[in-house]
A and B are shown apart, each in its own frame.
Chain A
Amino acid sequence: MQTLIFRTAAPYLTGLMLMFSVFVLLRGHNEPGGGFTGGLIAASAFGIHGIAFGVPAVRRALNFHPMAIAGFGLFVAAVAGLPSLVFGVPFLTGLWSAPSFFGISVDLSTVMIFDIGVYLVVVGSFTSIALALEDREHD
Chain B
Amino acid sequence: MAVQGEIIDKTAAMIAAPVPAADWLVIAPVLLPILAGAVLLMIRHSVRWHAVLSVAVLAVLVGANGLLLRRVLAEGPVSMTMGSWLPPFGISFTVDALGAVFSLTASIVAVCCCVSSVRDVDATGRRYGFYPFLLLMMAGVSGAFLTGDVFNLYVWFEVFLISSFGLLILGSEKSQIDGATKYAILNLVGTTLFLIATGYLYGTFGTLNMADLATKAGQIGDAAPLMTLASLFLLAFAMKAAAFPVNFWLPASYHTPPAITGALFGGLLTKVGIYALLRILVMIFAVEGVALAGVIGWVAVATMLLGALGALAQSDIRRIAGFLVISGVGTMLAGIALGGNGGLSGAIFYALHSMPALSALYLLGGLVRQRGGSFSLHQLSGLYGASPFLTLLAFIISLAVAGLPPGSGLWPKVMLVRAALDSGAWQIAAAILLSGFLATIALGRVFILAFWRTEIAGVQAVAGGSMSIMGCCAVVILTLAMLAMGVMPEPFVRVSGTAASGLLDASSYVRAVFPGGGGS
Contacts and interface: CB of A to CB of B under 8 A. Distances in A.
B2 interface: yes
A125 B129 CA distance: 13
A53 interface: no
A85 B31 CA distance: 13
A74 B42 CA distance: 10
A94 interface: yes
Among A67, A90, A91, A93, the one with the most B-chain Cβ atoms within 10 Å of its Cβ is: A90
Contact of A90 (B1, B35, B42, B80): B80
B20 A65 contact: no
Contacts of B39: 71, 75
Interface of B: 1-3, 5, 15, 18-21, 23-24, 27, 31, 34-35, 37-42, 44, 80-84, 90, 129, 132
15 contacts: A67-B129, A71-B39, A71-B132, A72-B42, A78-B31, A84-B19, A88-B21, A89-B15, A90-B19, A90-B83, A91-B27, A94-B84, A96-B5, A105-B3, A107-B2
B42 A91 contact: no
Contacts of A71: 37-42, 44, 132
A128 B505 CA distance: 48
B82 A75 contact: no
Contacts of B41: 67-68, 70-72, 74
Among A91, A93, A96, the one with the most B-chain Cβ atoms within 10 Å of its Cβ is: A91
Nearest to B42: A71
Contact residues of A: prevailing secondary structure:
mixed
A30 B1 contact: yes
Contact of A89 (B1, B3, B19, B129): B19
Contacts of A78: 31, 34-35, 38
A98 interface: yes
A91 B19 CA distance: 9
Contact of B80 (A65, A79, A91, A109): A91
Contacts of A65: 44
Contact of A92 (B42, B82, B132): B82
Contacts of A84: 19
A98 B2 CA distance: 8
A73 B42 CA distance: 9
Contacts of A109: 2
A79 B31 CA distance: 9
Nearest to B20: A88
Contacts of A73: 38
Nearest to A111: B83
Contact of B37 (A74, A79, A88): A74
A28 interface: no
A132 to B, nearest CB: 12
A33 interface: no
Given A71-B132, A75-B38, A88 B3 contact: no
A11 interface: no
A87 to B, nearest CB: 8
Nearest to B23: A90
A39 to B, nearest CB: 16
B91 to A, nearest CB: 9
Contact of B42 (A75, A81, A89, A105): A75
Contacts of A89: 15, 18-19, 84
Contacts of A75: 35, 38-39, 42
Given A85-B21, A89-B84, A90-B90, 4 more contacts: A74-B41, A75-B42, A91-B80, A93-B84
Interface in A51-106: 65, 67-68, 70-75, 78-79, 81, 84-85, 88-94, 96, 98, 105
Contact of B31 (A81, A90, A93, A107): A81
Contacts of A72: 38, 41-42
A79 B35 contact: yes
Contacts of A81: 31
A78 B132 CA distance: 15
A96 B42 contact: no
Contact of B15 (A30, A85, A90, A107): A90
A75 B35 CA distance: 6
A35 to B, nearest CB: 15
A96 B35 CA distance: 23
B81 A90 contact: yes
A98 B3 contact: yes
Contacts of A85: 21, 24
A91 B18 contact: no
A29 to B, nearest CB: 10
